[in-house]
Amino acid sequence: MPDIRFLLGSEPIVLAGIDPCMTLLDYLRFKAGLVGTKEGCNEGDCGACTVVRVRSVDGVLRYEAITSCIQFMGALHGCQILTVEHLADSNGALHPVQRALVDFDGSQCGFCTPGFVMSIFAATRAPGDVDIDDVLAGNLCRCTGYAPIVRAAEQALREPAAETDTATLETLESYKIDETVSLGDFHAPATLDDLAALVAAHPDATIVAGATDVGLWVTKQMRRLDTVIYIGRVAELARLHEAPDGIEIGAGVSYSDAMATIATHYPDFGEVIRRLGAVQIRNMGTLGGNVANGSPIGDASPCLIAAGATLHLRCGQAVRSLAVEDFFIDYGKQDLGPGEFVERITLPYPAPDAWFRAYKISKRFDQDISAVLGAFNLTHADGVINEARVAFGGMAATPKRAPAVEAALTGAPWTEATVARAMAALDQDFAPIDDLRASAAYRLTVAKNLLMRLFIETTEPAEETRLVGI
């Protein structure tokens, strides 16, 4: 099988003789001697390890900030990796982003600074307007304070757009092949049929998309992964399109690529995705991976369940479809047979007479694990709830619907008395646990209060009540 090739700056690299699950951070520091990229949390949260991944997408270079601490080397075929060392010009003159951070005193101890540089650099190459708060939400600074860093980012974003790097574009295009590339037991197929054949041949393989969770198995649990199959090169899985019956989302579509389309139809779902991790994580992680992982606190799954989404599973040439809610059997157990993998998700369009709301409750607004996530999809007419789909994350061993709550709402007038009955019914649906994120009592109280919040938001003037996603 062909080798894994990528560009490190402008230098072509052919990977050989290394652990394919070595992280990009370790490779940069210990193999390439590029120590500007720092190790902080080693789990994708602090942003000290931020680098920029460049890919050719539809003949255009796409610059994306990613966390190198959980990026496996085997997933880099066809990419360019840029670090803080690659930004200054050949004469040593600082890049405008670096110069802005100097001019606006955007650094004290300097440990976090390379990560900020790379996040801002990626933003300068992004098409359209960017939200600086979003850009910097994945970078932690404990000493400088964000005001001078924000001012530096504003200055850098005022710089003229850079010209297309045609040499890099041509090189990355030349790396595109319709074959599986491999490094040891790490395989990165390019087609859906090849992926299906690999999974059938290795039913116990670890299937990886963005590695935003699997990466921590390596960096935190010190697990050794045997056979790994990476889906990030499969073009069919990277497709997202608006079909007549709903949005078709391939299992390889990143959160970043899915967010705008989903937000057009489900604004609250889009806001949940915006608060899922940070830009670096959303550039790596996928909606399909969030579902396949089966986490009881996965933010996407309750939203998909409430919306009535369908999951499509592939095994060989056969495709099986089931409701997303039926995929979750128990904690750590999903309805996934040997050789089967998540192919895509169908997210139906909301009914014109529906209220869809999703609320993420966490200790921090940005980049935090949910204590509770409630998703509500209520169709209504003439003040009566005709159908209710209510799902929660963080309340049980799996993301789960609330049938007693739904029964209390269905066919009832949309009144405070009805909501009070639904709040009481929640005790029949869930018996949450105490953990570091929240106590069981807190979770139950919050989940009930979200029902009342939904009622207030849908019956009072929007300008007085609407607090999207808080």
Give me the numbers of helices (H) and strands (E) for the chain, helices first please. 18, 20
Residue owning tokens 């570091």: 436
The Cα 265–Cα 352 span in angstroms is: 11
As given in the structure block, the two tokens for residue 354 are 């529906």
Nearest CA-CA partner of 131 in 154, 99, 102: 154
Task: List beta partners, residue 62.
Answer: 55
pLDDT of residue 463: 54
The Cα 122–Cα 442 span in angstroms is: 39
pLDDT of residue 462: 60
Domains assigned to the chain: 1-176 (3.10.20.30), 239-465 (3.30.390.50)
Task: List beta partners, residue 360.
Answer: 373
Residue 128 sits at the vertex; the CA angle it makes with 126 and 130, to the nearest 5 degrees, is: 70
One pLDDT digit (tens) per residue for the chain, 470 residues: 689 999 999 999 999 989 999 999 999 999 999 999 999 999 999 999 999 999 999 999 999 999 999 999 999 999 999 999 999 998 889 999 999 999 999 999 999 999 999 999 999 999 888 999 999 999 999 898 899 999 999 999 999 988 999 999 999 999 999 999 999 999 999 999 999 999 999 999 999 999 999 999 999 999 999 999 999 999 999 999 999 999 999 999 999 999 999 999 999 999 999 999 999 999 999 999 999 999 888 899 999 999 999 999 999 999 999 999 999 999 999 999 999 999 999 999 999 999 999 999 999 888 889 999 999 999 999 999 999 999 999 999 999 999 999 999 999 999 999 999 999 999 999 999 998 889 999 999 999 999 999 999 999 876 554 544 44
As given in the structure block, the two tokens for residue 399 are 């993301």
pTM for this prediction: 0.94
Residue 74 sits at the vertex; the CA angle it makes with 345 and 111, to the nearest 5 degrees, is: 100
The Cα 408–Cα 388 span in angstroms is: 9
Nearest CA-CA partner of 117 in 4, 128, 104: 104
Residue 147 sits at the vertex; the CA angle it makes with 146 and 150, to the nearest 5 degrees, is: 80
Residue 298 makes CB contacts below 8 A (sequence gap 6+) with: 290, 291, 393, 399
